[in-house]
Amino acid sequence: MSFALKTRPLLSAFCGLLAGLLTLPALAAGEVNIYSARKEDLIKPLLDDFAKQTDITVNLVTGKENELLQRLQSEGVNTPADLLLTSDAGRLAAARQAGVLQTVQSGVLEKNIPAAYRDPEGYWYGLSVRARPIIYARDRVKPAELSTYADLAAPRWKGRICVRSSDSIYNQSLVAGMIAHQGAAKTEAWAKGLVANFARSPKGGDRDQIKAIAAGECDLTLANTYYLGGMVTSSDKTEQEAAAQVAVFWPDANTTGVHVNVSGAGVTAHAKNRDHALKLLEFLASDQAQRWYADVNNEYPVNPSIPPSATLQAWGEFKADTLNVAKLGELNAEAVKLMDRAGWK
């Protein structure tokens, strides 16, 4: 009896402890750490949805492309980053060449992302598409006057073209695509002709070129549709008014098609949460995320089964270049040297 009397308090304490354990909140599913060159407002809503659906905590660090790449390199095996997000195939290719990405294979990614928009060996995957057509002044240029990128070097456009500088990765990728299609010699001759037609020294971003057209400083530019879409839907009246004064022309419809590029992501070489990073990649290629890219960000979905936003559809359909965007990164260094020789500052 004395034994029973002594064990009863112990049994009661054990039952209390067990009950306490059963009422503890569930352990977190884990975390995934992202280095993103995309602005927070362009990606965070998607990341929040992913976190809610999976119970995986998402930690986001944003910064400039070069800074994030250098950070990954300097951190090496000690990096906390599991996924690198950036805005151009050239940047993604640079990350692969720097050895900071690893290959991942996924049936979901291969199904949702066309081969032209992903690294052939799985180092990175495109998540949204940007086209870089010709943007022109509605009141000073007739669409019938336009045809190809090559034609922008024709003398009749002298003093009528505004562009970003040769430091722009978007322009570098455009030139890299031209090198891939027609070789360096023809591309360099074109670049020299284009430079001769500049209305002013290159400066500013894509939106600044569109504003320059609206202000009458030039008649044509090359700009990503993503930026024009942002101006059309902007809450800033000045941007809306500038966008209303320009129109989109899809060049090279009968040849290689319109130059396109991607924003995308890759799993880092030393990811501590590799499986979570892959799961997030697959989520970003899902129908839900692709519709968000289209409707909110005014980017073309990388998944061809998801339609573009109404804003983008208003510009009409176009033939996209089928060149694998990985080639843009491979030819980036050659493109930069060529632009320097052509006097594209």
Per-residue pLDDT reduced to its tens digit, 157-178: 999 999 999 999 999 999 999 9
Whether 88 and 142 map to the same domain: the answer is no
Number of Cβ within 10 Å of residue 320's Cβ equals 18
CATH number, domain with residue 142: 3.40.190.10
Whether 198 and 335 map to the same domain: the answer is yes
Whether 336 and 216 map to the same domain: the answer is yes
Regions in the chain scoring below 50 on pLDDT: 1-28
Give dist(CA 318, CA 334) in Å, integer.
Answer: 28
Whether 251 and 136 map to the same domain: the answer is yes
Q: Within 76-224, where are the H helices?
A: 89-97, 107-112, 169-182, 184-196, 206-214
pLDDT confidence of residue 29: 66
Answer yes or no: is 6 within a domain.
Answer: no
Whether 88 and 78 map to the same domain: the answer is yes
Whether 138 and 238 map to the same domain: the answer is yes
Give dist(CA 70, CA 123) in Å, integer.
Answer: 18
pLDDT confidence of residue 97: 94
pLDDT confidence of residue 286: 95
pLDDT confidence of residue 19: 43
- Please state the domain count of the chain: 2
Whether 205 and 334 map to the same domain: the answer is yes
Answer yes or no: is 188 within a domain.
Answer: yes
Closest CA to 116 of 126, 128, 106: 126
Q: Checking phi first, is residue 99 left (phi over 0); if not, alpha (psi -120 to 50) or beta?
A: left
Whether 124 and 266 map to the same domain: the answer is yes
Answer yes or no: is 271 within a domain.
Answer: yes
pLDDT confidence of residue 116: 95
Handedness of CA 274, 275, 276, 277 (dihedral sign): positive
50 contacts 75 by C-beta, under 8 angstroms: no
Answer yes or no: is 318 within a domain.
Answer: no
pLDDT confidence of residue 39: 79
Answer yes or no: is 18 within a domain.
Answer: no
pLDDT confidence of residue 251: 98
Answer yes or no: is 233 within a domain.
Answer: yes
Whether 87 and 227 map to the same domain: the answer is no
Whether 54 and 123 map to the same domain: the answer is yes
Answer yes or no: is 115 within a domain.
Answer: yes
Q: Which domain holds residue 229?
A: 131-258+330-341
pLDDT confidence of residue 3: 31
Q: How does pLDDT run across 244-268, given as a tens digit for each residue?
A: 999 999 999 999 999 999 999 999 9
The CB-based long-range contact list for 237-246 (8 Å cut-off, 24+ gap) reads: 238/211, 239/207, 239/211, 241/214, 242/210, 242/211, 242/213, 242/214, 242/215, 243/210, 245/137, 245/138, 245/139, 245/213, 245/214, 246/135, 246/136, 246/137, 246/138, 246/210, 246/213, 246/214
* Sheet (strand 134-137) strand order: 161-162, 220-222, 134-137, 246-249
Unique residue bearing structure tokens 């990128």: 149
90 contacts 328 by C-beta, under 8 angstroms: yes
Whether 196 and 334 map to the same domain: the answer is yes
Give, as one character, the DSSP assignment of residue 157. G
Whether 136 and 235 map to the same domain: the answer is yes
Answer yes or no: is 21 within a domain.
Answer: no
Q: Residues of the chain with pLDDT > 90: what percent?
A: 84
